[in-house]
Chain A
Amino acid sequence: MHALIEYLAKIHFLIRKELLALFKDPANRSLLLLPALLQALLYGYGANYDLTHVPYAVLDQSRAAAATELVARIDGTGVFHRVATLTSSDQIVGMINRGEALLVISIPSDFEQRLASGSQAPLQVILDGRNSTTAASAAGYVSSIVTSYNESLGNPAAVAIDRRSWFNPNFESRWNMMPALIASISVMQTLMLAALSVAREREQGTFDQLLVTPLRPMQILVGKAVPSILVGLFQSTTILLIILFWFKIPMIGSLWLLYLALFVFTLAAVGIGLSISAVSLNMQQAMLYSFMLIMPLMLLSGLLTPVGNMPGILQTLTYANPLRFGIDLVRRVYLEGAVFSDVAFDFIPLLVIAAITLPLAAWLFRHRLA
């Protein structure tokens, strides 16, 4: 019992030292808080797939009532903003090329006559496809406007589809992006912090001073891991609060499960970071290895594009990526209200990564020296 208390007391001193060293420096304090805050706000607004503003132009060659009504419907959506009313088809190229209009709607001169004669009237839509996702969304909008216009003409669709969207009723991509940021913004700095923790001590010579004390590798490991985990959870909490109270995205799932998920995820990230740290000889190497790792981790995580769209071999690779499971866990607990049994599988790769990297780091502390 006494031995255990002494064992834990030593870890406590190490954790206290690490936290002091981190937070005494005002520059460090702001370097650990501000980026999370700023990025959450910036990307909350900036990382958005939803089309809310479609600049478009109209070339109405028919100048008839039907065309005017259709254009009025388009203007009435609030999404489309008419930036120009063209008078000649020559102007279309310029509008699109210069990016002034995302799409041009061209109404032929016989539009009204065709409708009046009860036949199909073609409506030409020219899209700027430079961003294919935006183009597809815009096309979708136009198509639904035309469908409802057709219905008003007495053309009900053959089969009506009743849509219901679970977890994100308005298809807002911010709902998808922001919970993912809880995991991905914090992981960058957490991993680097862990990666630099031992490398910095090695470069400054303090690690030798630490190794001649009676501290055991396991104690050093815990002492090094806990502060990084705390920083990670702190950053995650900051982002979580912004999402809850600034962006007001409702959280469905259990807060406990969310934090359990974040803890295990951060543990895996810190394990990777500490292994990098134990392998690196100096801070420069630690930073380099972290960059090399963080880039693919981000790209293969499902943050920007869904994992399901990747080719099979890359999908398999993502099993080694803690960020993929971290993002998945947070999204599903936060938005879907998943319970433990729903997401239990996601914990397995994270625990495996932690179980490999943490003992490896502890072993490397002393054996990397030579």
Chain B
Amino acid sequence: MNETVIAADLRKTFIGPDGKPFAAIDEVSLAVRAGELTALVGPDGAGKTTLMRMMAGLLKPDAGTLRVLGTDVAAAPQAVQNRISYMPQRFGLYEDLSVQENLDLYADLHGVPLELRRERFSRMLEMTDMARFTARPAGKLSGGMKQKLGLACTLVRSPDLLILDEPSVGVDPLSRRDLWKIVQQLVDEEKLSVIVSTAYMDEAERCGKVFVFHHGRLLAEGSPETLRGRARGLTFTARPPEGTPARDLQARLIDRPDLVIDAVPSGGDVRFIRRATGDDPRLAELLHDAPATPRPEELEDAFMMLLREHGKERGHAEPANGNDSAPQVAINGDKGEPVIVVRDLVRKFGDFTAVASTSFEVARGEIFGLLGPNGAGKTTTFRMLCGLLPATSGHLEVAGLDLRRARAEARGRIGYVSQKFSLYGNLSVRENLEFFAGAYGLRGAALKARVAASLNQFDLDPASRSGLLPAGYKQRLAMATGLIHEPDILFLDEPTSGIDPLARRTFWRTITSLAAHGVTIIVTTHFMEEAEYCDRIAIQDAGKLLALGTPHQVRQQAAGSGARDMNSAFIAIVEQGREPHGATP
């Protein structure tokens, strides 16, 4: 048997939040080859998860047929479930059970014989580098480790087909690399068939075949090479003039959708895709001070092209130009003076040191990135800065005040967008905005005007229920809320985790224009390419500050290890930091 999954005219309809049915999977026909890695990619709401759940027999198709491993999965889900392994987006580890107990449970459920188990476990623990932690409760593991344990639990036996739903969301680059190493090894050694959905194009690039989904439809399929071909001849790198941040050039390019399909800052330069039908003189004019050179096309380029082609129908709000998308924030004081001062900051939980003697300063109007592996102390540092957690010792100043001790008014000058969606899900968009505007002291006509401006700026529908918005829109609402009172300083904790590349571009466009208007931005992220938007970044691991400087300086610091992009620079720096002391959890 050469195909693991064969779908024909597959359809699955749900009732939407507005009470109308919508097709999560719409007339999809596909065939997945055995013995290789297959990727499903697409923006939020493309139908990837629905399709995977149907393959796993957890949802029944409304129309069409779906055969998995030769069995009609709708007719005999258990027969399929006995042979496949499936790792949902949020793998259900039992947090109160230890690593070993979680593994044992799944081994028992899959009926793995004891004699095979020992060998399999030791291999899994070795591959995930978790042999030391078998007695630790799963809830006490960092996000990346949990994900690795989830994978180990799905792989306690060798399945005929492995289905992974976005295994790397919210996972740091190191753990992401480890996860893929495990999968790759199993594909190479055991000829494992794997279907994986992902938002990372570098992951899709490793696969034998890629299916691109959008709005429940299959937009394109083929090997990464074939897909990449779509962007051939259109991809370039532009070097910004000396002294100009790459993100300014990127903003200039991405604001011209008539000429440029996509642009991202990368390694001090800007990578962009031009329109095939574009007007050469106008593009040359746009790039007048930035020499552009062709570069090899990548899968991400093809993916962005496909999405832009089909994105229109979804009504993605693209800022027409930078000024429109910039909120009108009036900032007092000079650019460049430090607004955040952190000296010898320490935070301990019991005898565990989450943040060890950390010092840095952030200047007004700067975009400052705080990077680090899961569990490195980023979130702890972040929460101390926002006044949500007291420091054990050290000096901490935000806008000249310690937020934890400062009067309430001082808190009125900061905005905060948290890691997970943390607005009132059952309130409407307008109600959420009005509440937070009121909490920040606005009322009457001023409040109405500010809310209307926010709705307009972020292109939000005031009546929709916040909790039911798609991830990209939730993220916009969170931003709108964080900015409702026009703060001087904006804290963003993993704001782009789990949202698609298209929405991420829009998001960063807003951030860069805010910074241009003097708002100070502190941001954490797991997408290393996003660090390229920052003026300066800090890399933290095990509570210690390992690197601090401009993206260029940080790449330089890792230059010895041959790192070329931010992702490999990050991995190199963290590994260097861990070496002398041996690995720390």
Direct contact of A and B (CB under 8 A): yes
State whether A13 and B427 are in contact (beta carbons under 8 Å apart), knowing that A205-B420, A213-B411 are contacts in the complex: no
Q: Please give me the residue from chain A that is nearest to B424 by CB atom.
A: A21
Cβ contact of A209, chosen from B383, B412, B423, B437, cutoff 8 A:
B423
Supposing A20-B427, A21-B424, A216-B408 touch, asked if A370 and B435 sit within 8 A by C-beta, the answer is: no
Q: Kindly state the separation between the CA atoms of A343 and B436 in the bound complex, as whole angstroms.
A: 43
Q: Are A17 and B424 in contact (CB under 8 A)?
A: yes
B439 contacts A213, CB within 8 Å?
Answer: yes
> In the bound complex, how far is the Cα of B375 from the Cα of A34, in angstroms?
46
| Residues of chain B lying within 8 A (CB to CB) of residue A204 | 422, 425
Given contacts A17-B427, A17-B431, A214-B409, A205 and B440 within 8 Å (CB-CB): no
Q: How far is the CA of A210 from the CA of B386 in the complex (A)?
A: 12
- Among A4-12, A130-138, A157-165, A242-250, the stretch that binds chain B is A4-12
Q: Measured between alpha carbons, how far is A215 from B409 in the docked complex, in Å? A: 9
A208 touching B422 in the complex, CB below 8 Å, given contacts A17-B427, A369-B389: yes
Shortest distance between the CB of A193 and any CB in chain B (Å): 15
A208 lies within 8 A of B416 (CB):
yes
The answer, among A10, A25, A205, A208, for a CB contact under 8 Å with B439, is A10
**Contact pattern, B 406-430, Cβ under 8 Å of A = 1, otherwise 0:** 0011111010101111111111000
Which residue on chain A has the smallest CB distance to residue B431? A20
Encode contact with A along B378-389: 1 for CB under 8 Å, 0 otherwise: 000001001111
In the complex the two chains form, is B388's CB within 8 Å of A369's CB? yes
Which A residues lie within 8 Å of B438 (CB)? 9-10, 12-14, 16
Q: Which residues of B contact A14 (CB under 8 A)?
A: 435, 438-439
Chain A's nearest CB lies how many Å from the CB of B415?
Answer: 8
Q: Is the CB of B427 within 8 A of A24?
A: yes
Q: Is the CB of B435 within 8 A of A17?
A: yes
Q: Do the beta carbons of B426 and A209 come within 8 Å of each other?
A: no
In-complex Cβ contact of B416 among A10, A16, A212, A216 (8 A): A212
Q: How far is the CA of A10 from the CA of B436 in the complex (A)?
A: 9
- A213-243 interface mask toward B, CB cutoff 8 Å, 1 = contact, 0 = none? 1111000000000000000000000000000
B424 CB, min distance to chain A CBs, angstroms: 5
Q: Which residues of B contact A10 (CB under 8 A)?
A: 438-439, 441
Is A206 on the interface with B (CB-CB < 8 A)? yes
Interface magnitude class on chain B? 35 or more
Min Cβ gap A201→B in Å is 9
Instruction: Answer yes or no: A304 CB below 8 A from chain B CBs.
Output: no
Q: Please, which residue of chain B has its CB at the minimum distance from the CB of A23?
A: B426
Contact residue among A20, A24, A208, A213 (Cβ-Cβ distance under 8 Å from B440): A213
Min CB distance B400 to A, Å, is: 16
B422 near A21 with CB under 8 A, answer: no
Q: CA–CA, A25 to B422, complex, Å?
A: 18
Contact B423 A206 (CB under 8 A): yes
Q: Mark A1-41, 1 if CB is under 8 A from B, else 0.
A: 00000100110111011001100110000000000000000
Given A208-B418, A215-B408, also A370-B439 (CB < 8 A): no
Q: Which residues on the A side are within 8 Å of B439 (C-beta)? A: 10, 13-14, 210, 213-215
- Say yes or no for A116: interface residue by CB 8 A criterion: no
CB of A352 within 8 A of chain B? no
Say whether A310 faces chain B, with CB atoms less than 8 Å apart: no
Q: Which residue of B lies closest to A220 (CB)?
A: B439
B541, CB-defined interface residue at 8 Å: no
Closest residue of chain A to B493 (Cβ to Cβ) is: A208
| Bound Cα distance from A293 to B434, whole angstroms | 37
Give the residue name and chain of the B residue nearest to A366 (CB): B404
Q: In the assembled complex, which residues on chain B have CB atoms less than 8 Å from the CB atom of A212? A: 386-388, 411, 414, 416, 491
Check A252 for interface membership: any CB of B closer than 8 A.
no
For B414, the chain A residues whose CB sits under 8 A away are: 212
Task: Indicate whether A211 reaches chain B with its CB closer than 8 angstroms.
Answer: yes
Nearest-Cβ distance from residue A203 to partner chain B, whole angstroms? 10
Cβ of B181 within 8 Å of any chain A Cβ, yes or no, is no
Listed residue (A13, A25, A212) with the most chain B CB atoms within 10 angstroms of its CB: A212
Given contacts A24-B426, A25-B426, A205-B420, contact A13 B435 (CB under 8 A): yes
Q: Tell me, in angstroms, the Cα distance from A353 to B481 when the chains sit together.
A: 37
Contacts of A215 in B (CB 8 A): 408, 439
CB distance from A165 to the nearest CB of B (A): 51
**Contact partner, B388, options A13, A25, A208, Cβ 8 Å:** A208
CA of A206 to CA of B419, assembled, Å = 11
CB-CB under 8 A for A13 and B434, given A21-B424, A214-B409: yes
Asked if residues A214 and B427 are in contact (CB atoms below 8 Å), the reply is no
**With A and B bound together, what is the CA distance between A24 and B431 in angstroms?**
11
Distance between A197 CB and nearest chain B CB, rounded to angstroms? 12
Give chain A nearest CB distance to B212 CB in angstroms: 33
Q: Taking the complex as formed, is B443 at the interface, i.e. its CB lies under 8 A from any CB of chain A?
A: yes
Which chain A residues lie closer than 8 Å to B45 at the CB level? none
A207 vs chain B, min Cβ distance (A):
8
Q: Does B268 contact A (CB under 8 A)?
A: no
In the assembled complex, how far is the CB of residue B284 from the closest CB belonging to chain A, in whole angstroms?
Answer: 47
Any A CB within 8 A of the CB of B390 = yes
* Distance between B262 CB and nearest chain A CB, rounded to angstroms: 32
Pair A211/B388 contact, Cβ less than 8 Å? yes
Given B383, B389, B425, B443, which contacts A9 in the complex, CB threshold below 8 Å?
B443
**Given A206-B422, A215-B408, A370:B441 Cβ within 8 A:** no
| A21–B481 CA distance with the chains assembled, in angstroms | 17
- Kindly provide the distance from the CB of B423 to the nearest chain A CB, expressed in whole angstroms: 7
Q: Which residue of B lies closest to A207 (CB)?
A: B422
Cα-based distance from A210 to B423 in the complex (angstroms): 9
Instruction: Please indicate which of the listed interface residues A12, A20, A213 has the most CB atoms of chain B within 10 Å of its own CB.
Output: A213
Closest to A25 in B: B426
The answer to whether B427 and A370 touch across the interface, beta carbons within 8 angstroms, is: no
B412, A214: Cβ atoms under 8 Å?
yes
Q: In the complex, A21 Cα to B426 Cα: how many Å?
A: 6
- Known contacts: A17-B435, A20-B431. The answer to whether A209 contacts B389 by CB under 8 A is no
Nearest 6 pairs of A and B residues by beta carbon: A13-B438, A205-B422, A214-B408, A17-B435, A214-B412, A213-B439
A-B contact pairs, 10 of them (CB 8 A): A6-B441, A10-B441, A13-B435, A208-B383, A208-B418, A209-B416, A210-B439, A212-B386, A214-B440, A370-B390
- The chain A residues found within 8 Å of chain B, CB to CB, are 6, 9-10, 12-14, 16-17, 20-21, 24-25, 204-206, 208-216, 369-370
In the complex, besides A25-B426, A205-B418, 14 extra interface pairs with C-beta distance below 8 angstroms are A16-B438, A17-B431, A21-B427, A208-B383, A209-B418, A209-B423, A211-B387, A211-B388, A212-B411, A213-B412, A214-B410, A214-B412, A369-B388, A370-B390
